[in-house]
């Protein structure tokens, strides 16, 4: 049950001053900067509200709140570990392909609130949250200036730099996680929300549809790009104060999330609950993939808001309503702060979760309990309670020089070939497993191609040119095994690696560079002019750019002597025929 409004809670004098001058005072000194182990629960709740209202002041530039002008995670952890732009400068992160939309608002990329390796529309603990209008909820993550500048100064946006370092954010660091819903002005009371214009970007919407967990009522509304009015439904605040090196953990929600409310005789329905759309056999708080037909997530609050939190909520909300503040429509769900020296701090609240973020894990959710185990890009190193640090990418690795040693090191260490793909062709050439090899390769081979080669093939596979040429930087490599293809090759069966690398020769021409090496070195032979390789590959009838191992989506060319060139190597064929004839004669004489 919600806390009754016939209770009163005495607020601290400083907090009263803060509420009175909310939106007009410039004195930042009234905002508390710390909470310690001896603080009472009511003091902790007031501290949470202080922090929430402080970061939700209008930003001087007139665009959103203070925290909406912090650095968003996508603008910090850029592809190839590029350095982010300085604080207050526009981001250089790649904008979504929404040329038709000219919005000055935020971009919601439907990311998870923890890590992009989690399905992009899922919450941290799994599950897609759908509101009563059958729209998916969207998430974003921010850092404040002290936290951001610590990341930049230490180059922790680079996964390689981060992986070998201890992370210890400075006091004053804050990370925020926000959840937004799309508003429909014909059915939603938008006056009850903090709102923003946003570009909704769902690049993998077609993939989401194939998962089978979303009904057409949801998927029909999903577009790659659309400009929407969105309303804030949840906000996590993770704040490192002088007395809390393991942070304080505060979470707020919009008051209509899971409960209906009566306002001036009008019923405001719950955002994430719709009795008209309940599906038989789907209990409350079911994950979408357990009930794929439900068009609205039927959510209840499984852990009630503590009484001491509700008391403070009532008092603060009453004051905010008198000030006609939009933030009167938000409520503190709870706050965790350390009570001892343990890593998780033994907080007063064992469970703390936000119905819009930990929707399907409310009974086991603990902000500090989860984040205590957050790792950096090195899974053996703690990331000082921040999961977002794991988003850091590796820097771009330059293509290797045209020496056998450089190419082998690139494939083994810098860009390990085991993580490469292979030709995505299951019609004519199946290379997802070891296949039969031919002379001079082993009895079986497994083929790997780097991203440059695969991306080129994907770009032409539906409209093959007459004479396709792989671009410079393409590498195609074979593992050569002594075992036949119908067996599982063992490490001891791997006898050599052979690679072909499209590079620029000393004449400035694009040419294949060839290499043959032992599985872990050394290099046996390498160069642009390796006749044993080029005489075979480059003279193949009907071949595409030396790809004996792959014929660009066409049926493979098969002959009895697939390694014979179309020109001068016929002598090899005749030599083998003569040797076979001699062996036959010798066998006949023995008989």
Q: What is the spatial distance between Cα 366 and Cα 60, in angstroms, rounded to a whole number?
A: 35
Q: Classify residue 417: in a domain, yes or no.
A: yes
Structure tokens at 12: 């601290």
Sequence-separated (6 or more) residues with CB below 8 Å from residue 454: 420, 421, 422, 423, 424
DSSP H or E stretch at residue 533: helix 531-537
CATH code for the domain in which residue 436 is found: 3.50.70
Nearest alpha carbon to residue 108 among 179, 161, 47, 37: 179
Q: Classify residue 4: in a domain, yes or no.
A: no
Q: Are 169 and 175 in contact (CB under 8 A)?
A: no
Same domain? For 350 and 233 the reply is: yes
Residues in the chain: 591
Same domain? For 375 and 456 the reply is: no
Number of domains composing the chain: 2
Instruction: List the strands of the sheet with 510-517, edge to edge.
Output: 435-436, 444-449, 475-481, 494-504, 510-517, 523-527
- What percent of the residues of the chain are helix, what percent strand, and what percent coil, each to the nearest 5? 25, 20, 55
Structure tokens at 293: 């037909």
Q: Are 316 and 11 in contact (CB under 8 A)?
A: yes
End-of-domain residue from the set 391, 414, 432: 391
Q: In this structure, how many other beta carbons lie within 10 angstroms of the beta carbon of residue 35? A: 24
b/e per residue, 183-215, with b = 16+ CB within 10 A? beeeebeeebbbbbebbbbbeebeebeeeebbb
b/e per residue, 365-398, with b = 16+ CB within 10 A? bbbbbbbbebebbbeebbbbbbbbbbbbbebeee
Collapsing DSSP to helix, strand or coil, 453 comes out as helix
Same domain? For 164 and 237 the reply is: yes
pLDDT, tens digit only, all 591 positions of the chain = 344 333 445 566 556 555 655 544 444 444 468 998 999 999 999 999 999 999 999 988 878 899 999 998 988 999 889 999 999 887 776 656 565 566 556 777 543 333 222 224 456 666 789 999 999 998 889 999 999 999 999 999 998 889 889 999 999 999 999 999 999 999 999 999 999 988 887 765 544 544 678 888 988 888 777 888 999 999 999 999 999 999 999 999 999 999 999 988 899 999 999 989 999 999 999 988 889 999 999 999 999 999 999 999 999 999 999 999 999 999 999 999 999 989 888 999 999 999 999 999 898 888 888 888 888 888 888 999 899 998 898 888 789 999 999 999 999 988 889 889 887 766 555 555 677 777 778 888 888 999 998 888 888 877 877 777 889 999 999 999 998 888 877 888 999 999 999 999 998 899 999 999 999 889 999 999 888 888 777 765 555 576 654 556 565 544 444 333 334 344 444 454 455 556 555 665 555
Q: In this structure, how many other beta carbons lie within 10 angstroms of the beta carbon of residue 405? A: 15
Nearest alpha carbon to residue 538 among 500, 576, 497: 500
Same domain? For 309 and 450 the reply is: no
Same domain? For 519 and 408 the reply is: yes
Cis peptide upstream of residue 522 (ω within 30 degrees of 0): yes
Q: Classify residue 575: in a domain, yes or no.
A: no
Residue 200, beta-bridge partner list: 108, 226
Same domain? For 31 and 92 the reply is: yes
Q: Classify residue 297: in a domain, yes or no.
A: no
Q: Classify residue 526: in a domain, yes or no.
A: yes
Q: What is the spatial distance between Cα 334 and Cα 347, in angstroms, rounded to a whole number?
A: 11
Residue 339, beta-bridge partner list: none
pLDDT value at residue 26: 42
- Please, what sign has the CA dihedral across residues 222, 228, 234, 237? positive
End-of-domain residue from the set 391, 423, 457: 391
Q: What is the spatial distance between Cα 522 and Cα 577, in angstroms, rounded to a whole number?
A: 35
Q: Are 113 and 193 in contact (CB under 8 A)?
A: no
Collapsing DSSP to helix, strand or coil, 148 comes out as helix
Same domain? For 376 and 413 the reply is: no
Same domain? For 343 and 443 the reply is: no
Question: Domain range for residue 240?
Answer: 13-256+305-391
pLDDT value at residue 534: 80
Q: What is the spatial distance between Cα 143 and Cα 379, in angstroms, rounded to a whole number?
A: 22
Q: What is the spatial distance between Cα 268 and Cα 329, in angstroms, rounded to a whole number?
A: 12
Same domain? For 373 and 412 the reply is: no
Owner of token pair 């769900």: 333
Structure tokens at 49: 């509200």
Same domain? For 445 and 347 the reply is: no
End-of-domain residue from the set 391, 416, 437: 391
pLDDT value at residue 573: 42
Q: Classify residue 282: in a domain, yes or no.
A: no
pLDDT value at residue 303: 94
Same domain? For 380 and 480 the reply is: no
Structure tokens at 373: 């185990």
Same domain? For 93 and 53 the reply is: yes
Q: Classify residue 204: in a domain, yes or no.
A: yes
Burial class (CB in 10 A: 0-12, 13-18, 19+), 138: buried
Q: Classify residue 569: in a domain, yes or no.
A: no
Q: What is the spatial distance between Cα 181 and Cα 177, in angstroms, rounded to a whole number?
A: 14
Q: What is the spatial distance between Cα 235 and Cα 70, in angstroms, rounded to a whole number?
A: 14
Nearest 5°: the CA angle 468, 470, 473 is 170
pLDDT in tens, 389-434: 988 988 887 899 999 999 999 999 888 898 898 877 665 555 556 7
């Amino acid at each position: 049950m919600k806390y009754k409004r016939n209770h009163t809670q005495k607020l601290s004098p400083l907090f009263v001053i803060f509420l009175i001058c909310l939106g007009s005072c410039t004195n930042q000194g009234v905002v508390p900067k710390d909470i310690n182990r001896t603080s009472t629960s009511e003091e902790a709740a007031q501290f949470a509200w202080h922090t929430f209202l402080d970061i939700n002041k209008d930003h001087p530039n007139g665009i959103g709140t203070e925290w909406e002008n912090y650095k968003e995670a996508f603008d910090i952890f850029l592809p190839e570990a590029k350095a982010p732009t300085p604080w207050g400068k526009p981001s250089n992160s790649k904008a979504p392909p929404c040329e038709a939309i000219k919005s000055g608002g935020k971009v919601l990329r439907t990311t998870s609130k923890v890590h992009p390796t989690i399905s992009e529309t899922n919450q941290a603990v799994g599950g897609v949250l759908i509101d009563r209008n059958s729209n998916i909820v969207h998430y974003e993550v921010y850092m404040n200036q002290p936290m951001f500048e610590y990341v930049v100064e230490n180059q922790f946006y680079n996964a390689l730099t981060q992986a070998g370092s201890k992370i210890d954010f400075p006091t004053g660091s804050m990370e925020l996680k926000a959840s937004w819903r799309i508003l429909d002005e014909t059915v939603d009371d938008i006056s009850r929300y903090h709102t923003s214009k946003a570009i909704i970007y769902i690049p993998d919407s077609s993939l989401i549809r194939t998962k089978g967990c979303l009904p057409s009522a949801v998927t029909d509304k999903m577009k790659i790009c659309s400009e929407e009015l969105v309303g804030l439904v949840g906000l996590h605040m993770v704040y490192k104060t002088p007395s809390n090196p393991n942070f304080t953990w505060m979470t707020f929600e919009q008051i209509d999330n899971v409960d209906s409310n009566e306002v001036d005789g009008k019923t405001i329905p719950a955002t994430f609950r719709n009795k008209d759309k309940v599906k038989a056999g789907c209990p409350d708080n079911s994950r979408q993939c357990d009930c794929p037909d439900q068009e609205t997530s039927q959510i209840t609050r499984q852990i009630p808001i503590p009484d001491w939190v509700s008391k403070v909520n009532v008092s603060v909300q009453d004051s905010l309503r008198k000030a006609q503040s939009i933030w009167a429509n938000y409520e503190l769900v709870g706050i965790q702060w350390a009570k001892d020296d343990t890593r998780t701090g033994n907080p007063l609240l064992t469970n703390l979760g936000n119905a819009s973020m930990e929707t399907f894990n409310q009974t086991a959710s603990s902000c500090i309990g989860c984040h205590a185990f957050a790792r950096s890009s090195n899974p053996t190193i703690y990331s000082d309670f921040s999961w977002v640090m794991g988003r850091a990418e590796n820097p771009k690795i330059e293509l290797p020089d045209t020496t056998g040693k450089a190419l082998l090191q690139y494939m083994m260490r810098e860009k390990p070939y085991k993580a490469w793909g292979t030709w995505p062709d299951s019609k004519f050439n199946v290379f997802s497993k070891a296949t039969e090899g031919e002379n001079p390769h082993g009895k079986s081979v497994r083929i790997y191609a780097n991203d440059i080669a695969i991306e080129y093939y994907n770009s032409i596979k539906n409209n093959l040119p007459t004479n396709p040429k792989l671009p410079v930087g393409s590498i195609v490599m074979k593992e050569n095994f002594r075992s036949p293809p119908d067996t599982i090759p063992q490490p001891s069966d791997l006898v050599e690696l052979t690679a072909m690398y499209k590079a620029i020769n000393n004449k400035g021409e694009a040419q294949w560079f060839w290499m043959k090496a032992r599985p872990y070195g050394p290099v046996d032979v390498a160069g642009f002019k390796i006749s044993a390789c080029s005489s075979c590959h480059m003279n193949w009838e009907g071949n595409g750019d030396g790809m004996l191992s792959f014929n660009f989506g066409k049926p493979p060319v098969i002959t009895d002597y697939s390694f014979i060139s179309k020109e001068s190597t016929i002598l090899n064929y005749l030599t083998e025929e003569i040797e076979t004839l001699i062996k036959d004669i010798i066998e006949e004489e023995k008989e």
